[in-house]
Structure 1
Amino acid sequence: MPPAVDPAAQGGVVVLDTDRLFAESLFGQALATDLQAETEALIEENRRIEAELTAEEQSLTRRRPGMEPAAFREEAEAFDARVQEIRRERDAKERALQLEAAAGRERFLAAIGPTLGQVMMARGAAVILDRRAVFLSTGAVDVTDAAIAAVDAEIGNGSDLPVPEAAQSDAAPTAVPAQDR
């Protein structure tokens, strides 16, 4: 027996707030929590490294008067090179977090297609439009709440979803949301 058709969507179009769908779904919340924890850990690590570098710079500055100019220059250049390398490493870690967030969202969107198709069909619609692409609509055609409920029921926090091979490489790490948050 076909699902009951929602009279509000008889025009064949429903609207979905994809940002809200992601942010309010169990998967999106789990990913956000994991990324927040990783971001905070990176911030703490950056603070620790900054304190170490500040202490090292102060030590070099205090020792400068008693050093030969060539020896000081050599130590200062080595210190500067180390600082530049640390900056490159920090930037790479920040980019990896950004890639992780993007990969998680892509994984989410790939996993929810069939579920959104069911929501669309249950509403008797032939098209789902992203809310940002709609100039004017009534709230009756917005299926975001129904989509969140359906996606949560289908994929939960995403911990059971397979991780694509590309996302498993070191080049683009992907967070796997924690179990049942």
Structure 2
Amino acid sequence: MALCLLFATVGHVDAQQKAANMVPIATLDQERFFNETRFGKAVLAAFQSDTDALIAENRKIEADLEAEERDLTSRRATMGAEEFQTLAAAFDRKVEDIRTARDATSQVLSKRLDEDRARFFDAARPVLIALMAERGVLAIIDKRAVLLGFDTIDLTELAIARLDETLGDGAATPPYASPTP
């Protein structure tokens, strides 16, 4: 029985090696590639820092608006209905304007993250092309698109190490230039 398992294991390893030599396709876990490189980590850290700052600002604004609303409500008894309606409507517009501005800021942060991801993959392209040439690979597909395959075709770990060696945290890469239609 143990001999059968040994031959089955050897056969599996041998099949993996043959498959790696026969198929000019490699896989890459794009999420892991981005998240685990120093470049990707720097992008994510900057995004998280900006997001945390936005959240803190939002909380401060929210507290200020709540205080202003309480003040307006407490003064309601001392003013006429028309005056209160005018002040309440102005307050509501102010809240909506602030909400719109905060949403726009959040969208700017999301867009910047998308652009930084695109910049990452643009900068990674030459590194991946070099790995393809070294391995005799004609195509790299996302690892999630593979239903069944051997681990030997996965370039993720090697690509992470190579990109870290080549680009570090990505600070020296040019900004992303979105393609013009």
Fold shared, TM-score > 0.5 on shorter chain:
yes
* Contact kept in structure 1, 2:118 and 2:176, CA below 8 Å: no
Higher helix share: 2
* In 2: Cα distance, 1:163 partner to 1:116 partner: 19
* In 1: Cα distance, 2:40 partner to 2:131 partner: 19
Structure 2 residue aligned with 1:158, among 170, 175, 179? 170
Aligned match of 1:60: 72
* In 2: Cα distance, 1:9 partner to 1:130 partner: 19
Could you tell me how far 1:40 is from its partner in structure 2? 0.5
> % of aligned pairs identical?
40
3-state SS of the aligned residue for 1:128? Answer: strand
Higher Cα radius of gyration: 2
Aligned match of 1:87: 99
* Contact kept in structure 1, 2:116 and 2:176, CA below 8 Å: no
| Aligned residue runs from structure 1 range 4-23, under 5 A | 8-23=20-35
Aligned match of 1:138: 150
Aligned match of 1:124: 136
* In 2: Cα distance, 1:85 partner to 1:71 partner: 21
RMSD: 1.6
Q: Which runs of 5+ in 1 are unaligned?
A: 1-5, 167-181
* In 2: Cα distance, 1:9 partner to 1:53 partner: 65
* In 2: Cα distance, 1:23 partner to 1:86 partner: 33
Moved over 3 A (4+): none
Could you tell me how far 1:165 is from its partner in structure 2? 5.5
3-state SS of the aligned residue for 2:141? Answer: strand
Aligned match of 1:109: 121
**What TM-score, normalized by structure 1, do the two folds share?**
0.85
* Contact kept in structure 2, 1:120 and 1:126, CA below 8 Å: yes
Could you tell me how far 1:102 is from its partner in structure 2? 0.2
3-state SS of the aligned residue for 1:163? Answer: coil
Could you tell me how far 1:10 is from its partner in structure 2? 3.4
Could you tell me how far 1:126 is from its partner in structure 2? 1.2
* Contact kept in structure 2, 1:12 and 1:124, CA below 8 Å: yes
Give CA deviations for 1:144-180 in whole Å, capped at 9, x if unaligned: 00000111111111100111456xxxxxxxxxxxxxx
**What TM-score, normalized by structure 2, do the two folds share?**
0.85
Structure 2 residue aligned with 1:32, among 28, 31, 44? 44
